Structure formats: C-alpha cells, structure tokens
Amino acid sequence: MADLHPDITDRLRDFIAKQPVFFVASAPLSAEGHVNLSPKGLDTFRVLVPNRVGYLDMTGSGNETAAHTAENGRITIMFCAFEGPPKILRLFGRGRAVLPGTSEWDEFIPRFEVLQGVRQIIVADIHRVATSCGYGVPLLGEAHDRDQMTKWAASKGEQGLAEYRRQKNTVSIDGLPVAIAD
C-alpha cells in the first residue's frame, strides 16, 4: 500500500534530486489511444513549489505528453531508487506544455540549465504524492548521462530543430494536435 504525502516534502525533493532517471506517463481520452510512458534524464527535472513540478522536454521523435496533457491534463511521473534504500515515488497531476516565448516560459526557465534541443517545459500541478516500497526494483550500477541527444540537437542547429519539430512533433501517434513554438 502506498504512503500518501500532502505535498513534495524536503525529504522527497532530496530523493528526486538524486535520481538520474524518471518516467512520465500520459494517455489520451480515447480507449483506442495509446498510453505513453517515457524515460527522462539529463538533470531536467525540478520541483518548482511543493505541489508543482516541471521538466525540460527535449525534441524527440514524438510529442505525446504535450498532446495528451493538452487534451485532458492527466500525467503521472515516477521515480525509482536504483541504488541505496528501495523506494518508488509517484506524482499524479494535471500537466501542460509551456512553450518558449510565453510569460510562463520566462517565469520557469531560469530554474533550469538550458540544454540544446529543449522544445518546451512540461509543468504539472500535483494532487497526489505517493511512495511505495520499491522492493522489486533492481539495484543498478552508477548511472551516467548519455550525450547523444544534446550532440544530435547541436548538429541540427536551431533552424534544423524547428523544421524537425514541424515535421514530427505537431501530431500525436493517435492524431491529437500539438502546439509547438514557432
């Protein structure tokens, strides 16, 4: 059974800061739609206030989380301890994409180290904070960030990334529209 917390406590914030990877889940309203689950890393996650989080969303092959949160807002973010004491932390909330050039972008972006290839910030207002044992999560060796994503983004350049996003990031795999920055 999960332990519920009223918000993201300092102890949970410290746990989050130590995790090299987190997972983001979202889904469309349609029963025929695809549930999306994506691993994330690169030190892109921040607790903004005790019940609001955000992460830099990098340019990628799809844009499912932005499409799903635009349609219905539902998002779950999960952290697992792969070293040290076992723990799973799930953050349930309502999310949205914050695009460059908006006042919200200007408000949130100073909290992050901006990486090459960032397309938006996914911000989520959290209404359920739950931890569970994590006894079944394996212990893994020391994690290191990969540099392929930032190198790929740098090789594209800003114009190339904008064109890539226009081609691959404006519609979800289920046909939902996705707003992108111009």
All domains of the chain in start order, with CATH? 3-168 (2.30.110.10)
**Going residue by residue through the chain (182 aa), what tens digit of pLDDT does each one get?**
689 999 999 999 999 999 999 999 999 999 999 999 999 999 999 999 999 999 999 999 999 999 999 999 999 999 999 999 999 999 999 999 999 999 999 999 999 999 999 999 999 999 999 999 999 999 998 888 999 999 999 999 999 999 999 999 999 999 999 999 97
Q: Which two tokens stand for residue 74?
A: 């539902």
Residue 128 corresponds to which amino acid? R
Dist CA 136 CA 133 (whole Å): 8
Q: Residue 141: how many CB atoms within 10 A of its CB?
A: 7
Q: Which CA distances in Å does 89 have to 8, 12, 70, 127, 144?
A: 10, 8, 24, 13, 21
Query: What's the pLDDT tens digit per position in 55-71?
Result: 999 999 999 999 999 99
Q: Which two tokens stand for residue 49?
A: 């206030």
Length of the chain: 182
Q: Which two tokens stand for residue 168?
A: 């691959």
Query: What's the pLDDT tens digit per position in 71-93?
Result: 999 999 999 999 999 999 999 99
The pTM assigned to this predicted structure is 0.95
